[in-house]
A and B are shown apart, each in its own frame.
Chain A
């Protein structure tokens, strides 16, 4: 970052006191985060094997009923559906975001920054309002179904809302920006002369894309997949607004256990299960990028 700084900087006598000052600066934020965040996550793990009293207050003990309940087919089915929807969302986001990021980064010209801002800004608008607007757009007599009917791609019985398609559409709309930003960053960094070289070596557009552009941007795609997978897996608004009662995801289950069911140990166990799935995903991503970096360094 600071190339001017020589690596073997002469240590000044004041440095020891300086490093103490930096530690003092770092301390309040770190203590705050540890106290409120790390402690609360540990509490979820503890309560997953605990119980609650009649008032719903957490009581600590060792009771595996919450964890054991996870094996119930009713829950494994929801878990499988969540995983399926989240993975499908990742795939669709990749297919949608790649051409958009590519067009803006490589053909956006002087409108490049304006276009990417136009994509990012609505994403900062209220998530609920956007989702709600999207559910209106996808409703039975909303503009999307009307347009599809007009061109003969749908008939009077075609529904989007209250189906799995609706839930995935909601997730894609909610999180596609997380895919566009890293892809855009990767494509913007891409050396365009690489593409030209591919063409000069008589690779068609498709071959050039597959063997030059795509490999050069795969880290952006990997980062985007993780960034979409994380929130998609934990979302409960999309399934609630766009899906019926038979489309619920793990987020809806967790919400239900804490608010309607008052089964906090089970809710905590479900939360830990969700975290576990996401950590496995993160771990896979980190291993992949490490391997990529090791290869690039060679």
Chain B
């Protein structure tokens, strides 16, 4: 049986990739994708811990996260489409007009 630490390591790698993506990509869609990756990294570690402890609570949390992620994608993509129609770009650096 694969030790829990391996799952955690994979989760860490996935999270780091996601983090890197959020910080480096300029397209809103790609930023979004990276965020999803980070969420799934967190999900993976939650499931791994749940199995290690023999407790289903954390797995329940995973379903909540997945539901939220689905909702977030639905809304986020709609916003991105709307922004693109208006501004002809999804480059997040050019969408800084609401700054203080």
Asked if A pairs with B, the answer is no
Interface set of B (CB-CB < 8 Å, partner A)? none
